Amino acid sequence: MTRQWLSAVLTLAVIGLVRQSEAAEPAPPDARAASAAQFVQNIVTAKYADAASCFDTAMAQAMSPERLKQMSSSLIQQCGAFRETGETRSAQEAGFQVVFVACKFEKQTLDAEVVFDKDGKIGGLWFGPHIESRQSQYSTPDYVRPNLFDEREVTVGAGEWKLPATLALPKGEGPFPALVLVHGSGPNDRDETIGANKPFRDLALGLASRGIAVLRYDKRTKVYAAQMAASKDTLTVKQEVLDDAMTAVALLRNTPKIAPTRIFVLGHSLGGTLIPRIGKLDEHLAGLIVMAGTTRPLEDVILEQTEYLSSLNGAPSVETQKYLAEIQRQVAAVKSLALSADTPASTLLFGAPPSYWLDLRGYAPAELAKTLSQPLLILQGGRDYQATKADYEGWAKSLADRPRVTFKLYPDLDHLFMEGTGKSTPAEYDKREPVARKVIDDIAAWIATQ
């Protein structure tokens, strides 16, 4: 579920929200770059009030100096001591001017993505793996056979929420079975880019090499960040995930060379958690695949992940203990029976609106999966600290008596289904490692039998 809106759900995360203001007028890149670099420098040198003074109105409401302090503490826990800021680069995204500032920490380098509004105020802030890692270190896995398929650009949906997408289509007459890939939390691109890795690209190219068409698309929260922020008070996983997944399925059913009765959906992380809801929305799907989907309440998973990451640096400092106490308070607020549509988002986990938490309240993915008619494939990495063996066991226990369920546990794989050893940490995502061949083989073999 990496760079995302709910911070602890997948490594480093969206820390702010792009406000619903007008897009930024282009300013001299050097001016914005200097402002962004100073802003980041203020955060990492504990000048939180100075940093917060640069926010626009909406961002100021969502991100107080105290919350910046918590965020800085979390970054240091995960990445080690801050060293220095490095190069900057500027871009226009969805009409907003964005500056990326390289931030060098003891254990890894991150990019701070700083979003400016038309008045030069800061309306959004994210931290994610350094851009050079994402671009230069990606390599095509050796299990991909480019001569066996073609890729073409398509569009998922129409109108205000249309999304750019890529369809990997095997060569030949078909009709071919087809798979939709559904992302984890946050503003993911179609490849689910995380550090140096692109697990959705690995899956798409690997499975297309085995005769399966694969559709992947940029997530709505990435393409329409400002519009999503404008409706954040009523946001649920329906708008974030479910609507576009259903639209992608409809696109495949109307695509030449695709077998309309052999459409499958694969969800990773949050996408995996929501697979039972997707199955209920379309009972004609040929099969459903859960990759690292959680079965426990999301707020509990966030707290567990935060505690795990805090433990990686040994005994927690006083600041770390305060940060953990604040996360515990926010979890309690999410669970409180007093939670309502009027509860301020600023009091809840990472500023997510009450509508989001109320929609997920009572959702038991594994229990809902018992009522599905479609075959299920449940995949889990044994080294995953984000969706853990406890979640896998939750699926296994609930679905023990349900027919047409296949379980696969890979002891040496992490959340991205990459091979490794020892404790999994966020830093390993910066090293290029493809989705393991055995995962590609198992998915392809399972689809062939459905």
**Tokens coding 312:** 């990686």
**Tokens coding 216:** 């992947």
Residue pair 240/207 in contact by the 8 Å Cβ criterion: no
All CATH 3.40.50.1820 domain ranges of the chain, comma separated, are: 146-295+364-448
In percent, how much of the chain has pLDDT > 70? 90
Distance CA 368, CA 365 (A): 5
Residue pair 182/204 in contact by the 8 Å Cβ criterion: no
The number of beta carbons lying within 10 Å of the beta carbon of residue 135 is: 10
Distance CA 366, CA 4 (A): 24
Higher pLDDT, 84 or 288: 288
Please list, residue by residue across 168-194, b when 16 or more beta carbons sit within 10 angstroms of its beta carbon and e when fewer do.
bbbeeebebbbbbbbbbbbbbbbbbbb
- The average pLDDT across 341-358 equals 88
Residue pair 126/113 in contact by the 8 Å Cβ criterion: yes
- Model pLDDT, residue 381: 97
Strands 287-291 and 376-381: parallel
Q: With CA atoms as reference, report the closest residue to 187 among 109, 96, 279, 277.
A: 96
Distance CA 425, CA 368 (A): 31
Q: What does the pLDDT look like over 290-325, one tens digit per residue?
A: 999 999 999 999 999 888 888 887 777 787 788 888
For the question of residue 185 being annotated catalytic, the response is no
- Model pLDDT, residue 29: 52
Q: What does the pLDDT look like over 70-90, one tens digit per residue?
A: 778 778 777 778 888 888 888
- Model pLDDT, residue 95: 61
- Model pLDDT, residue 349: 84
The one catalytic residue among 189, 244, 384, 414: 384
Residue 251 Cα to chain centre, angstroms: 23
For the question of residue 269 being annotated catalytic, the response is yes
**Tokens coding 64:** 């107080």
For residue 51, CA distances in Å to 31, 114, 129, 297 come to: 17, 12, 22, 34
Architecture of domain 7-136: Roll (3.10)
DSSP output for 74-91 = HHHHHH-SEEEEEEEEEE
**Tokens coding 74:** 């979390």
Q: What does the pLDDT look like over 115-153, one tens digit per residue?
A: 888 788 888 887 876 766 444 456 899 999 999 999 999
- Model pLDDT, residue 3: 35
All CATH 3.10.450.590 domain ranges of the chain, comma separated, are: 7-136
DSSP output for 422-440 = SS--GGGGGS--PPPHHHH
In percent, how much of the chain has pLDDT > 90? 56
Question: Distance between the two ends of the chain, CA-based, in angstroms?
Answer: 27
Residue with tokens 């075959």: 375
- Model pLDDT, residue 210: 98
The one catalytic residue among 209, 269, 310, 424: 269
Residue pair 198/216 in contact by the 8 Å Cβ criterion: no
Distance CA 157, CA 221 (A): 15
- Model pLDDT, residue 100: 86
- Model pLDDT, residue 280: 98
Least confident of 17-21, 100-104, 201-205, 294-298: 17-21
* Topology adopted by domain 146-295+364-448: Rossmann fold (3.40.50)
User: 19-33, 216-230, 431-445 — which one is most confidently predicted on average?
Assistant: 431-445
- Model pLDDT, residue 81: 82
Asked whether the predicted pLDDT for residue 429 surpasses 50, the reply is yes
Residue pair 72/44 in contact by the 8 Å Cβ criterion: yes
Residue pair 141/205 in contact by the 8 Å Cβ criterion: yes
Residue pair 386/308 in contact by the 8 Å Cβ criterion: no
Asked whether the predicted pLDDT for residue 254 surpasses 70, the reply is yes
Higher pLDDT, 438 or 16: 438
DSSP annotation of 242: I
13: left (phi over 0), alpha (psi -120 to 50) or beta: beta
The number of beta carbons lying within 10 Å of the beta carbon of residue 406 is: 16
What residue type is 303 in one-letter code?
L
Average pLDDT, the chain: 86
The one catalytic residue among 268, 415, 424, 430: 415
Distance CA 297, CA 357 (A): 10
For the question of residue 441 being annotated catalytic, the response is no
Distance CA 363, CA 360 (A): 5
- Model pLDDT, residue 430: 76
Q: What does the pLDDT look like over 145-183, one tens digit per residue?
A: 999 999 999 999 998 899 999 999 999 999 999 999 999
Cα torsion 48, 50, 55, 59 to 10°: value is 20
Strands 376-381 and 82-93: unpaired
